[in-house]
Amino acid sequence: MMKIKYNGRTFFSGQSLANAITRDMNQSIGRQVRQAAAASNTSVRKTTKDFEIKGDAADLSRFYDRLGR
């Protein structure tokens, strides 16, 4: 049996490890989007599938620049 440690947790199942990594990546991306939106004076809303960003053209340009296009 193989065990892998990730973020302080021990995983014995590959599926559980994959779920934890996917969840952490989604949280990280969501955090980056929200921080970029807050810094560029745009509003962000999370929908069931993606994020919805609202703002004028200049603010959206700043938002995209902050995300790194």
For the chain, the domain total comes to 1
* Residue 22 to residue 15: CA distance in whole angstroms: 10
> In this predicted structure, what is the pLDDT of residue 68?
82
SS3 10: strand
SS3 9: strand
| Domain hosting residue 17, numbered range | 4-67
Determine contact, residues 33/51, Cβ cutoff 8 Å.
yes
pTM: 0.78
> In this predicted structure, what is the pLDDT of residue 10?
94
- Which among 37, 45, 44 is positioned nearest to 61, based on CA atoms? 37
pLDDT along the chain (69 residues), means of 10: 90 94 94 93 91 93 87
